[in-house]
A and B are shown apart, each in its own frame.
Chain A
Amino acid sequence: MSETGRIAVRKTYKLYVGGKFPRSESGRSYLVTGADGTVLANASRSSRKDVRDAVVAARAAQKGWATATAYLRGQILYRAAEMMEGRRAQFAEELRAAEGGSRKQAEARVDATIDRWVWYAGWADKVPQVLGNGNPVAGPYFNLSSPEPTGVVGVIAPQHAPLLGLVSAIAPAIVTGNTVVVIASEKMPLPAVTLGEVLATSDFPGGVVNILTGHTGEMAPHLASHADVNGLDLTGVDDPELARTLEAAAADNLKRVLRPAAEDFLAEPTLKRLRTWTETKTVWHPAGV
C-alpha cells in the first residue's frame, strides 16, 4: 500500500522476443532479489526453446534491419536514447535496487547508458566510412571494401553491469544491421526487461533485439551451438571453463566470438565491437570503356 492508500500495480517482468513480451514457453520463473536481499520480482526463466524462438525472430528481422538505411538505423538508436531519457528515474530506481550503491551512482550509470545510445546512433552512417575504404589495386579495377553486418549475434550480457554493460554490448551489434539474442544478467535481469519496453517503443522492428532472462549456464550452450547464429559475445561469461566450452561449441559453424578482457564500461568504447560484428566485403569491377 502506498502513502495514498492505493494498491500499486506491479509489473510482470517478461521476455522481449520478436517485438512482443511473452513469458517463457517453459512456464518457469525465478526469484530476483536486490542488492540488499529484498525480493524484487519473479523473472521468466527461459528455456532452450525460448533461445530457439528468439533466434528465429532475430533471423527473420535481420535482412530488413540490415537493408534499412543507416540514417534510419541511427535515428532509431537515437530514439532509444530519447525513450530512456523519459524513463530515467525508473531506470535509476531499478538499477539501484539491483546493484545497490547511491542514487547518484545509479543515475550516473543510467546517464552513461543513454549517452551510449547517442554515441552509437551517430556511428550508424559512419562505420562504413571509417571501417571501409577503396583499395588502390595494381590494375584497371574499381575496388571497394565495406563492412556489412555479420548476421545474428548471440550476446551473453555482462553480469555485473546490467544496464550500461548491456547497452554497450547491444548497440554496437545492432547499429550496423545485426540482430541480437541477448541473455540478460542472471542476477540482475530486471533493467534488461525494462530496456525491452524502451526498445519496443523506439521504432525498432520486432526481432532486432531479443532479450531473454534466466540461467546463463542453461541457455548459453544452446545459443553458442545454434547453427543459425553467426556471432557470439561472451562478455557476460565469467567462468573460464564455461567460456571454453561455449567457444568450442561456437566453432561448429565458425561463429565469430568476442571474449573481451575486463572492460570499463564508463570509458568511451573502442571500435572493437563494431569491427567484430561486421564482415568486410570487397567488390571488384573492371574500369574500361
Chain B
Amino acid sequence: MTMFEYAPAPESRDVVDIKPSYGLFIDGKFVDGKGEAFKTVNPATEETLAEVAAATSEDVDAAVAAARRAYEKVWGPMPGSERAKYLFRIARIIQERGRELAVLESLDNGKPIKESRDVDIPLVAAHFFYYAGWADKLGHAGFGADPKALGVAGQVIPWNFPLLMLAWKIAPALACGNTVVLKPAETTPLTALLFAEICQQAELPAGVVNIVTGAGATGATLVEHPDVNKVAFTGSTEVGRRIARAVAGTRKKLTLELGGKAANIVFDDAAIDQAVEGTVNGIFFNQGHVCCAGSRLLLQESIAEEFLARLRRRMGTLRVGDPLDKNTDVGAINSAEQLERIRALSQIGEAEGAERYTAPCVLPERGFWFAPTVFTGVSQSHRIAREEIFGPVLSVLTFRTPDEAVAKANNTPYGLSAGVWTEKGSRILWLADRLRAGVVWANTFNKFDPTSPFGGYKESGYGREGGRQGLEAYLDV
C-alpha cells in the first residue's frame, strides 16, 4: 500500500433486530393493517428489510379514535408535570438504544452511520428532553397563562430524517397535551415503528402516540380526517399546497415545513477553508436530502475560481458508499424514484448549458447512488437554480456586490434557510436582516438544535419547529 486506503470499518448490524413484517401501532398495540402490505428496502443494497402494513381509512379511523380517547381520558387531563416525566423517559430510552436506532436508520434510509449516530439520533433524544421540560411550564411560554392543547394531531413526515422529523412532530405535540397519529414516509417506516416499541417500553398510555404506515393515500386520509384538530406536515412544497387546500375551511391548525433552495453566499474575505467545509456540509450532508440544503452556492466573482478549485479538491476526499461503514461521508440515495429525479434534473442542468463536475468516486453496483456533483456557470434562470433537486447536486452562481448577492439569494419562491460567509461582522448583520429565510447560518451551515426554531418564509411553509416558538403549533393560541 502506497496510499492511505481506509479498510472497511462497518458498524455491526447485530444491534438491531428487524422483524419480517410490521403492523400498525394503534392504541398502544401493534395490530394488523387492513390494507395490502408493502416492502421497505435498504437503498444501499436494494434488499427488502421488512414488510409493512399499509393503513386504510378504516385503520386511520381507529388510530384517530384511539388518539381522541387518549386525549380526552388520559393525556389531556394529565398534569403537565406528569406528561413531562413520560417525555423525559422516552428521551432516556432513545439515548440508551441510540446505536440500535442509528443502525436501523442507516439501513432503512441509506444515510451514513456517522450521521445517524452523531447527528440524527442525538438530536432526537435532545428534542424529547427539551420539550419534556416545557410540558409543565407552558404558562411561561408567552402564549397566555394557561394555553390549551388542540386535541388530536395528524402528522405526516418525510424520509430524509425519519426519526428526527418524528421527534420534531411528536415531542412538542405531546408536551402541549395533544395526542398524535403519525404517518412516517413510505420508504422509511422502520425507526418510527421502533419508536412505537420505545413508547411501550416507556409505558406511555395507550393511544397517546399512534403510528400508521403507508403511502400518500394514507397521509391524505389522515390530514383530511374530520376528527383531527391539527395537521403538521414536512415534505415537498407541492404536497404541502395540496394539504393546505385540503384543510381549507376546516379550522384545523396547520403547520408546514416544505422545500427550499437555499443560497450559501461566500464573500472574498471569508474564512475560506471553513467556507469550503460549510459548502460541502451544506449540500452533501445527508446526500443533499435536506430541505434547508445550501443548494445554490453564490460566490463573489473575485474568488470564484480559487474557491471552486478548493471545493473540487475537497470533493475528492468525500467517501461515497456503504452507509454502515464508519468512514462513509455520503450514503445512498433513498429511493429509485428520488434517484431518477436527481438524474433528470442534472441532465436538464447539462442541457441548459451549465458545466458539470462530478467527484471522482467509485459507486457500488447495487443500490441507489449518485456521486457528489457541482454545476458551474449556472444562472438564476436555469431550472437547477430554481427547483429543489433534493440530492447531492450543487449549483454555483456568482455575484459582484452585496446587493446583488441579496437580490439573487431572495429571488426564489422558497425561504427556508441561507448561509453567509464573511469575516466582516457588520456585513453579516446587514445580510441577515435582508435575507428572506427562516434560518440564517452565518459562518456555519446545517446546524440544528432543539432550542432553535426552524421553519420557512414564503413557499417553504409556515410555523416553526423547535424552541419556544415551536410550541405555538400545538397550542390553541
A residues near B (Cβ < 8 Å) are 67, 130-131, 133, 135-139, 141, 143, 145, 150, 230, 240-241, 243-248, 250-254, 256, 259, 270-272, 275, 279-286
Of all chain A residues, the one with the shortest Cβ separation from B433 is A67
Number of CB contacts from chain A to chain B under 8 A: 112
Given contacts A254-B258, A279-B457, A283-B442, 20 further A-B contacts (CB under 8 A): A137-B451, A137-B452, A143-B451, A240-B249, A241-B249, A247-B244, A250-B244, A253-B459, A254-B237, A254-B458, A259-B251, A271-B142, A272-B477, A275-B472, A280-B438, A280-B464, A281-B440, A284-B441, A284-B447, A286-B443
Contacts of A245 in B (CB 8 A): 248-249
Given contacts A251-B241, A253-B458, contact A135 B467 (CB under 8 A): yes
Of all chain B residues, the one with the shortest Cβ separation from A276 is B462
CA distance A256 to B432 in the complex (A): 22
- Whether, in the assembled complex, B437 has its beta carbon less than 8 Å from a beta carbon of chain A, the answer is yes
Given contacts A135-B453, A272-B477, contact A284 B439 (CB under 8 A): yes
- Whether, in the assembled complex, B73 has its beta carbon less than 8 Å from a beta carbon of chain A, the answer is no
Contact status A135-B249, CB under 8 Å: no
Contact status B439-A254, CB under 8 Å: no
Contacts of A270 in B (CB 8 A): 144, 477
Given contacts A283-B432, A284-B447, contact A135 B248 (CB under 8 A): no
- Whether, in the assembled complex, B379 has its beta carbon less than 8 Å from a beta carbon of chain A, the answer is no
Q: Which of B142, B249, B454, B464 contacts A243 (CB 8 A)?
A: B249
Contacts of B211-260 to chain A: CB distance below 8 A: 237, 240-241, 244-245, 248-249, 251, 256, 258
Contact status B443-A143, CB under 8 Å: no
Q: Which of B144, B256, B443, B468 contacts A254 (CB 8 A)?
A: B256
Write 13 A-B pairs (CB below 8 A) sorted by A numbering. A135-B451, A136-B451, A138-B126, A141-B444, A145-B452, A145-B453, A247-B248, A248-B249, A250-B248, A251-B241, A254-B237, A282-B439, A284-B441
CA distance A138 to B127 in the complex (A): 12
Contact with A along B120-160 (1 / 0, CB 8 A): 00000010000000000000001010000000000000000
CA distance A250 to B241 in the complex (A): 9
Contact status A251-B449, CB under 8 Å: no
- Whether, in the assembled complex, B377 has its beta carbon less than 8 Å from a beta carbon of chain A, the answer is no
Contact status A138-B449, CB under 8 Å: yes
Separation in Å of the A182 CB from the closest CB of chain B?
22
Count the B residues whose beta carbon is within 8 Å of the partner chain — how many? 44
Separation in Å of the B150 CB from the closest CB of chain A?
14
Contacts of A256 in B (CB 8 A): 462
Contacts of B453 in A (CB 8 A): 135, 145, 280, 282
> By CB atoms of chain A within 10 A, which of B240, B443, B452, B462 has the most?
B452
Contact status A248-B452, CB under 8 Å: no
Contact status B142-A139, CB under 8 Å: no
CA distance A70 to B116 in the complex (A): 43
Q: Which of A138, A252, A279 contacts B438 (CB 8 A)?
A: A279
CA distance A141 to B451 in the complex (A): 12
B residues near A (Cβ < 8 Å) are 126, 142, 144, 237, 240-241, 244-245, 248-249, 251, 256, 258, 413, 428, 432-433, 437-444, 447, 449, 451-455, 457-462, 464, 467-469, 472, 477
> By CB atoms of chain A within 10 A, which of B142, B258, B467 has the most?
B467
Contacts of B458 in A (CB 8 A): 230, 253-254
Contacts of B439 in A (CB 8 A): 281-284
Contacts of B455 in A (CB 8 A): 280
Separation in Å of the B281 CB from the closest CB of chain A?
13
Contact status B428-A143, CB under 8 Å: no
Contacts of A230 in B (CB 8 A): 458
Separation in Å of the B264 CB from the closest CB of chain A?
13
CA distance A145 to B467 in the complex (A): 9
Contact status B468-A133, CB under 8 Å: yes
Q: Which of A136, A138, A240, A280 contacts B469 (CB 8 A)?
A: A280
Task: List 7 tightest A-B contacts by C-beta distance, closest first.
Answer: A244-B249, A251-B244, A247-B248, A137-B449, A248-B248, A135-B451, A285-B442
> By CB atoms of chain B within 10 A, which of A139, A256, A284 has the most?
A284
Contacts of B447 in A (CB 8 A): 137, 139, 141, 284
> By CB atoms of chain B within 10 A, which of A136, A283, A285 has the most?
A283
Of all chain A residues, the one with the shortest Cβ separation from B477 is A272
Given contacts A133-B468, A275-B472, contact A254 B241 (CB under 8 A): yes
Contacts of A272 in B (CB 8 A): 477
Separation in Å of the B477 CB from the closest CB of chain A?
7
CA distance A230 to B436 in the complex (A): 12
Q: Which of A143, A248, A271, A281 contacts B245 (CB 8 A)?
A: A248
Separation in Å of the B73 CB from the closest CB of chain A?
26
Separation in Å of the A223 CB from the closest CB of chain B?
15
Contacts of A240 in B (CB 8 A): 249
Contact status A143-B449, CB under 8 Å: yes
Given contacts A136-B451, A280-B455, contact A251 B248 (CB under 8 A): yes
Of all chain B residues, the one with the shortest Cβ separation from A131 is B142
Separation in Å of the A256 CB from the closest CB of chain B?
5
Contact status A254-B244, CB under 8 Å: yes
Separation in Å of the B118 CB from the closest CB of chain A?
13
Contact status A139-B240, CB under 8 Å: no
Separation in Å of the A276 CB from the closest CB of chain B?
9
Of all chain B residues, the one with the shortest Cβ separation from A134 is B451
Contact status B454-A282, CB under 8 Å: yes
CA distance A254 to B457 in the complex (A): 9
Of all chain B residues, the one with the shortest Cβ separation from A248 is B248
CA distance A252 to B468 in the complex (A): 29
Contact status A143-B438, CB under 8 Å: no
Given contacts A230-B458, A240-B249, A282-B440, contact A139 B449 (CB under 8 A): yes
Of all chain A residues, the one with the shortest Cβ separation from B249 is A244
Contacts of A67 in B (CB 8 A): 433
Of all chain A residues, the one with the shortest Cβ separation from B468 is A133
Contacts of A253 in B (CB 8 A): 413, 458-459
Contacts of A241 in B (CB 8 A): 249
Contacts of B437 in A (CB 8 A): 281
Contacts of B472 in A (CB 8 A): 275
Contacts of A143 in B (CB 8 A): 449, 451-452
Of all chain A residues, the one with the shortest Cβ separation from B429 is A283
> By CB atoms of chain B within 10 A, which of A137, A243, A272 has the most?
A137
CA distance A248 to B144 in the complex (A): 30
